[in-house]
Structures are given as C-alpha cells and as structure tokens.
Amino acid sequence: GGLCNLCLDKTNKDYILEANGVEPIINCLSSSNEETVMSAVTTLMYLTTPQSRQQTTALPVVECMLRFSLSASRRLSNLATVFLEDYCTPLQVEEARNLSKHTAVGIPLPKD
C-alpha cells in the first residue's frame, strides 16, 4: 500500500520504473490477500506511462484483470474494470479474452 502512495510522486515513479519495479508489483497480483491485490492494481495504474505501458498492460496482466473483473468482490471487480477500460486497448482485452478461453489454469482470485 505504501508503494502505491509513493509512486504518485514523479521522482519516485521514475525511480521505481528505472529499478525494474513493475515486475514485483505484477507478482503481487497473485497474492491471496485482497488488499495486496488492490494495492498492486492501483500501483500499476499509477505507474503506467507511455514508456511503461507495454509492461504494465502486458498480456498476463490483462488476463488477471479480466479474471478480477468477474470477482464477487465489488471493489476488486470495479477496479479491474477501470484498469481494463482506461489503461488497456480494446485489442489487448480481446487478445486476453481469446487466450483465456484456451487456458484452464489461472491466478486464483484473492480471498478475504
């Protein structure tokens, strides 16, 4: 959660991006703790720039957001939907949807 707040500052954002900080944040999407997942999604949103967009909206991330958008948790579902609508292109979402149809295993949804 703290990283989420820190990355609002441009200097911190630049440092996180330069230090390859996106990958560890993406790894947090598989956490069983919903608050950790919510913070990770929000952090990815804050870190998205024209330069980092390819990494923050990579296909595995978009697939996770599609799954999260179906969550019973309204908070997670709504946040994932905002991510998909505001940070991803329709083509990215469609590609992830098509890929998801062919996979049986995915990142589990977080638990409370």
Rounded Cα distance between 3 and 73, Å, is: 23
Looking at residue 92, its pLDDT comes to 95
Looking at residue 106, its pLDDT comes to 53
Rounded Cα distance between 59 and 62, Å, is: 5
Which residues of the chain are under the pLDDT cut of 50?
104-105
Looking at residue 79, its pLDDT comes to 98
CA atoms within 13 A on the CB side of 26: 19
Looking at residue 2, its pLDDT comes to 79
